[in-house]
Amino acid sequence: MSAPYVIDQMISAKAIAARIEALSAEIAREFEGTSKLVVVGLLRGSFVFIADLVRELDLPVEVDFLEASSYGDGMESSREVRILKDLRGAIEGRDVLVVEDIVDTGFTLHHVTGMLASRGPARMKTIALLDKPSRREVDIKADWTGFEIPDEFVVGYGIDYAQRNRNLPYIGKVRFV
């Protein structure tokens, strides 16, 4: 069992919704004219973000998922990225948007984008809800970022701590008591 903790709100549900609306307009401009945008969600943390994002996109979209893990139930990245679930569909010659919940060390996004690039998409861009640049160990940055945050352990809006707190409508900082 994990140590007792409390959650302090960092980013409100209202702020997240407003940012997603702005980001979706930028993404729609970038992919204007696409026959179909394949939106690839990195499970599990991005599922809430991807749902809200695709509802705001004024583009024809197809949604697929990839599950990668570098954390397990811990608070620190293992730096070893494992693919637990691959895409169901092909992305060769297609426009792709990779959706990540949080870019921390950068290992997961770097590994996944390298793997997907080898499959020959026409265009591939990335978006992350959260970015912790102070933790970066791999030189990678998402094309779009919702919010830059300090080096805090966060939960909510799909992001968990040992499979808990995904259902919070906001992003909160975990504080152990």
Q: Catalytic residue positions?
A: 104
Q: What is the phi/psi pair of residue 116, to 5°?
A: -70, -35
Beta strands in the chain (DSSP E): 5-11, 37-43, 61-69, 82-85, 95-103, 123-131, 144-148, 154-155, 171-176
d(CA 34, CA 143): 18
Please give the helix or strand (H or E) that residue 117 lies within, else none: helix 107-117
Q: Which two tokens stand for residue 35?
A: 């026959």
The answer to whether the CB of 124 falls within 8 A of the CB of 155 is no
Angle at 41 between CA 120 and CA 54, to 5 degrees: 105
d(CA 56, CA 22): 9
